Structure 1
Amino acid sequence: MRPLFLYAPNLKRYESEFLDSRKGWKSISVTGTYCAFNCKHCGRRVLESMIDGSTQGKIEKEIMEAISRGDEGIILSGGSTSRGDVPIWRYSNLLKRYSDRLTIIAHTGVVKNEEIARKFKESGVKIALLDMVSDNDAIKDILGQPFTVDDYLNSFKYLKKVNIKIVPHVILGLSKKGLEGDLESIRLLQEVNPDALIIVGLMPLVGTQMNASRPPTPEEIIVALRTARDTFPNIPINLGCARPRGKSYLEVEKFAVDYDIDAIAFPEDETYEYAKSKREIFLSNACCGNIVFDIFKVITS
């Protein structure tokens, strides 16, 4: 079987006998809590959990701290501009000074053209993360954005054209077409040849317009993981950090172990014990998107 990577970045409090997120890669919002959109499932709440990097001084402070404690990378995120992209490129002159010392993973938002993609590249971004949404109604009614499915697909194409690794996220429970719509997001990504794929699930957040929504069931997540693995047999498939929790979801992680899913973010202790006798395990405090580099190191070592 493939090696199994277990990840715990500094996105939330997580402590186990084998991983501690306090040692994890920093997640920094370059816009603070600002976003031009107010998505019904997020309501800017996700930004509140990130480190405020809304000025050059704040970002540099966090970068220097990350380097001093020996981190190998950082996660840059933030709210979108009205054009759709997360304006990480505003700090290009600062970021490229440190890009040879840190792997920069970025949530890019929608990238409207190759020029914007190139700005991310010039900022030292090595890996780009962006959700893939399969239906225009969800983009309009849930995300509140004036974009289309093609805009999302083209974003990956522009980023790949400038040689940034692309790692799409598929959020189960987001499509207005139900599970079939979420699975369509996976199938559509065959157009862009992703470097890895991360499956996550809607987590109804208090204070958002979707706080009463039904999260994806364990069975639905398993179907999506199976579909992703079968559709993309040759790239890493990850069970990402943003997903429903609870004892009933343990079966999802065990399925991931048994079905050759490459990585699990913030695994349960029981999953670690279950996996030890089945697969070779590698532990990391990186963002799980870094698997595009981690797996290459393991294969070539």
Structure 2
Amino acid sequence: MSAWSEILEAVEPLEDLAFDVGLVERLAASEGALPGIHFYTPTFKSYASSEIRDCGRSAWPAISITGGDCKLNCDHCKAKILEPMIPARSPEELWRAVNGVVEQGAGGMLLTGGSNHRNEVEYDRYYPTIRRIKDEFPQFRIAMHTALVDDAIAGRMADAGIDAAMMDVIGAQDTITQVYHLRRAVDDFERALEALTKTSMKVVPHIVVGLHYGQLLGEWNALEIVARHKPSALVLVVVMPTYAGELRPFATPDPHEVGQFFGDARTVLPDVPLLLGCARPAGSVKSLIDAYAVMAGVDGMAHPSDGMVELAARLERPVRVTPACCSIAVGDEVMAMSGSDSGLEIDLDEIVRHERERRAARKRQSVFGEIKVMGGEERSGCCGT
């Protein structure tokens, strides 16, 4: 048994998971020491200090210029991801929305919208308002989901003051055609990434692992495309078949194949920050995916599974934890780890103690939640309320 396999067994939430021993050994044999890792997690609230304020949905809101509308209606999303966002269907609405979230304490926003049939978000009439926002609130950071662009559009985005440009990079033509319903080529995605990296914006492409109905198809090609253009960071997410329809269902990606891809991404991009975003399947699959990401050497992870912080510490990775909601995690992701010095640095003993206390408290809560009150009326509250 390898040293890393023993470490996995020592982390209580991971001891019963079926890891691929060969993959674990391969990751352990990778050259060089693992870098530090930054976790964004709401579970470490006990480490919060007076210097760390609570955050809510308003900390890094998402605003859609099309509301919940999207012409593509991609099979993995069905435009549902847009529905909970703040709608701003006109430049005037965008101005009012930003003033509102700034007043609530937001430090930045994700600006996005549904695509047209060419996978373009039609921002043209919004650029003067974006420039006005940046001039009025210079510290307010704007990350934009760009979709496909050319040199001229990328230049307009940078001139308007966009801080970070985000786009999905797809490496398989079948995925573009079948999942995205697009008549565009893989080369169009590379040209868009190239156009963005020529500007002053931070560029943070995303690779959605398992995008082809849960299968890995073009991910390695997408990785090579990203490597050719050296972005500020790369965000990896794993497809969640939450919105897929019955006619085109998505399988849950094989976590071991996902882990292999994480290892390859670290090898191909040794000097580019790798970040694991919030989106990935739940349950034991998420735990396996997260553990492989920690062992592969990702630089940041949003909402880690139980045991991940302890695993990283046992692998002697310097650990920082920011007690933050998803909005803050997304904000730091797209800013390419600009907040990497934030958060609290914690040691292994503190992590193990906290994790054990938290798991014990959760087990007690679960047990008490199953106890039926005998006698008298059944009450909906507690303590007689």
If the length of structure 1 is used for normalisation, what is the TM-score? 0.86
The equivalent of 2:382 in structure 1 is: none
Aligned to 2:357: none
Which residue of 82, 87, 99 maps to 1:47?
82
Moved more, 194-203 or 264-273: 264-273
Q: Distance in 2 between matches of 1:141 and 1:248?
A: 26
Q: Using the TM superposition, give the Cα deviation of residue 226 of structure 1 relative to its aligned residue in structure 2, in angstroms.
A: 0.8
Partners of 1:138 and 1:154 lie apart in 2 by 18
The residue that corresponds to 1:11 in the other structure is none
Alignment of 1:1-301 (within 5 A): 1-7=34-40, 15-18=42-45, 21-22=56-57, 24-99=59-134, 100-111=138-149, 113-175=150-212, 178-206=215-243, 208=245, 212-275=249-312, 278-283=317-322, 285-287=328-330, 288-295=333-340
Which string of whole-angstrom CA distances, capped at 9 and with x for unpartnered residues, describes residues 118-161 of structure 1? 12112221111111111212111210111111100000111111
* Kept in 1: contact 2:59–2:105 (CA 8 A): no
Letter in 2 for 1:5: H
* Contact 1:3–1:282 (8 Å) recurs in 2: no
Q: Distance in 2 between matches of 1:130 and 1:41?
A: 16
Cα deviation for residue 290 of structure 1 reads 1.7
Question: Against the structure 1 CA distance between its residues 195 and 141, is the aligned structure 2 distance closer, same or farther, given a 3 Å change threshold?
Answer: same
Q: How many residues align?
A: 290
| Cα distance in 1, alignment partners of residues 191 and 246 from structure 2 | 28
Please state whether the residue corresponding to 1:6 is helix, strand or coil: strand
In 2, Cα distance between the equivalents of 1:208 and 1:52?
A: 25
Counterpart amino acid of 1:105? A
- What secondary structure sits across from 1:195 in the alignment? coil
2:185 and 2:58 map into 1 onto residues whose CA distance is: 38
**Cα distance in 2, alignment partners of residues 211 and 5 from structure 1:** 36
In structure 2, what is the Cα distance between the partners aligned to 1:282 and 1:206? 31
Say if 1:239 and 1:264, in contact at 8 Å, map to a contact too: yes
Using the size of structure 2 for normalisation, the TM-score is 0.69
CA contact (8 A) 1:140 1:146 kept: yes
Distance 2:109 2:247 in 1: 30
Change (3 A) 1:144 1:240: same
Aligned residues: percent identity? Answer: 28
SS in 1 for 2:339: helix
Query: What is the CA deviation profile of residues 152-185 of structure 1, one whole-angstrom value per residue up to 9, with x for unaligned ones?
Result: 0000111111222211111111247942522221
Q: For structure 2, list consecutive stretches of 5 or more residues without a partner in the other structure.
A: 1-33, 46-53, 343-385
Structure 1 consecutive aligned stretches of length 4 or more whose deviation exceeds 6 Å: none
In structure 1, the residue corresponding to 2:57 is in which secondary structure?
helix
1:219, distance to aligned residue in structure 2 (A):
1.1
Tell me if the contact between 1:171 and 1:200 (Cα under 8 Å) persists in the aligned partners. yes
**Cα deviations across residues 207-258 of structure 1 (Å, max 9, x unaligned)?**
6367631021221221121111111000100111222121332132233333
Q: Is residue 137–residue 176 contact of structure 1 (8 Å, CA) maintained in 2?
A: no
The residue matched to 1:250 in structure 2 has which SS? Answer: helix
CA contact (8 A) 2:206 2:237 kept: yes
Q: Which amino acid aligns with 2:35?
A: R
Contact 1:171-1:202 within 8 A present in 2 as well:
yes
Q: Distance in 2 between matches of 1:232 and 1:197?
A: 9
